[in-house]
């Protein structure tokens, strides 16, 4: 049904305007699009309207996009290696070089760069688990060994690509080396005097194994943290250790006494030997003198047997009678008192 004017014969539409114009008009869509294109061309240096202006705006757009792509590529290509890092560059997945500290360039996406920390000293603690820390010693005892490993990257490329799960591999190598060394060392030595030696030996074994793997890793230190008997046998182990300490104490005391007695006995034995040698020398000298005297007497005896025999008789009798208390008087002796205590007089003299 057509619109009917009920307002005094004037034809007006429902929006307040007549069908022939004179009121508010709807926007022209084509005109708005054209104005927007002109503004866009002016903003990017385009020319006037028409077909030629559209071709110039398209070239500018391509140039701008190309410039942005180049800038973005260069931005992505430059990279910086920090002082504690090394730049490992791969091309098509193959290592081509390792860069030092500074700003460098690579060609993404065919190049790829890794920057591992090469100056940091890393630490791995071993022995947190029961199975991991219990080891058999050379004298067939079981000890709990907890230790730490300090390591750093010595060759970044080998570290990144020659060894998978680096920390787990280092830990496994350290367990193997530690068990090898502990298995040939006595428990007492492990807990006391050989700790430093064990650390040095384990470090050497680990380094040789990792070098054979070309792992690019340097073991800087192996440190024994705790070496103790298992909890289940700790009390019995302490008793054994105490008994062994008492035994060592007794042995040391015996050695001390030995060191005091043996030199004295050796000195006395040497003194007796010297005395025996002196007695031997005196006896031999005396025998030689007596033999010489006997031979001299014998020579005299051969020249004058009666005189010598009488002299020997007198000397022998003088020697024998000189030691007795008897006084012998001749029967015809006169002028001698019949009683004279000659022995008492002799003793007084």
Q: What is the pLDDT of residues 288-297, one digit of tens each?
A: 999 999 998 8
3-state class (DSSP) for residue 179: helix
pLDDT band at residue 15 under the 50/70/90 scheme? very low
pLDDT band at residue 337 under the 50/70/90 scheme? low
The answer to whether residue 255 scores a pLDDT higher than 80 is yes
The answer to whether residue 44 scores a pLDDT higher than 80 is no
Q: What is the pLDDT of residues 166-221, one digit of tens each?
A: 999 999 999 999 999 999 998 888 888 888 999 999 999 999 999 999 999 999 99
Contacts of 53 (CB under 8 A, 6+ apart): 41, 46, 47
Residue 327 is predicted with a pLDDT of 66
- Evaluate whether 46 touches 60 at the Cβ level (below 8 Å): yes
pTM beyond cutoff 0.85: no
Residue 232 is predicted with a pLDDT of 82
The answer to whether residue 319 scores a pLDDT higher than 60 is yes
The arithmetic mean of pLDDT across residues 41-53, rounded, is 52
In the chain, the domains with their CATH numbers are 78-114 (no CATH), 122-230 (3.30.479.30), 232-313 (no CATH)
Q: What is the DSSP letter of 18?
A: -
Is the model more confident about 5 or about 325? 325
Rounded mean pLDDT of the chain? 82
pLDDT band at residue 13 under the 50/70/90 scheme? very low
The residue assigned the tokens 């591999």 is: 169
pLDDT band at residue 26 under the 50/70/90 scheme? low
The arithmetic mean of pLDDT across residues 255-262, rounded, is 94
Mean pLDDT is lowest, of 40-49, 66-75, 127-136, for 40-49
DSSP secondary structure letters along 219-261: EEEEEEEEEE--GGGHHHHHHHHHHHHHHHHHHHHHHHHHHHH
DSSP secondary structure letters along 22-52: -SPPPP-HHHHHHHHHHHHHHHTT---SSHH
């Amino acid at each position: 049904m057509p619109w009917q004017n009920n307002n005094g014969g004037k034809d007006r539409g429902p929006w307040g305007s007549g069908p022939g114009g004179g009121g508010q008009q709807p926007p022209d869509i084509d005109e708005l699009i054209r104005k927007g294109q002109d503004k866009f061309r002016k903003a990017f240096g385009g020319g006037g309207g028409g077909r030629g202006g559209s071709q110039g705006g398209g070239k500018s757009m391509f140039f701008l996009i190309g410039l942005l792509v180049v800038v973005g590529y260069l931005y992505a290509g430059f990279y910086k290696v920090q002082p504690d890092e090394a730049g490992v560059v791969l091309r098509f997945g193959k290592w081509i070089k390792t860069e030092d500290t500074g700003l460098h360039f690579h060609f993404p996406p065919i190049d790829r760069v890794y920057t591992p920390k090469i100056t940091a000293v890393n630490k791995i603690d071993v022995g947190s688990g029961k199975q991991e820390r219990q080891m058999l010693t050379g004298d067939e005892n079981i000890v709990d060994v907890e230790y730490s490993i300090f390591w750093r990257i010595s060759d970044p490329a080998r570290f990144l690509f020659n060894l998978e799960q680096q920390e787990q591999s280092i830990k496994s190598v350290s367990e193997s080396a530690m068990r090898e060394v502990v298995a040939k060392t006595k428990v007492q030595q492990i807990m006391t005097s050989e700790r430093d030696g064990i650390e040095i030996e384990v470090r050497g074994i680990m380094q040789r194994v990792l070098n054979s793997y070309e792992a690019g890793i340097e073991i800087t230190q192996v440190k024994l943290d705790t070496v103790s008997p298992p909890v289940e046998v700790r009390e019995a182990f302490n008793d054994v250790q105490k008994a062994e300490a008492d035994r060592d104490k007794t042995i040391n005391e015996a050695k001390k006494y030995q060191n005091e007695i043996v030199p004295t006995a050796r000195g006395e034995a040497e003194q007796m030997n010297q005395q025996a040698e002196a007695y031997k020398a005196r006896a031999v000298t005396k025998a030689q003198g007596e033999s010489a005297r006997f031979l001299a007497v014998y020579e005299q005896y051969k020249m004058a047997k009666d005189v010598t025999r009488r002299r020997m008789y007198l000397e022998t009798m003088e020697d024998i009678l000189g030691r007795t208390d008897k006084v012998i008087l001749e029967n015809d002796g006169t002028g001698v008192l019949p009683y004279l205590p000659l022995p008492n007089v002799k003793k007084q003299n």
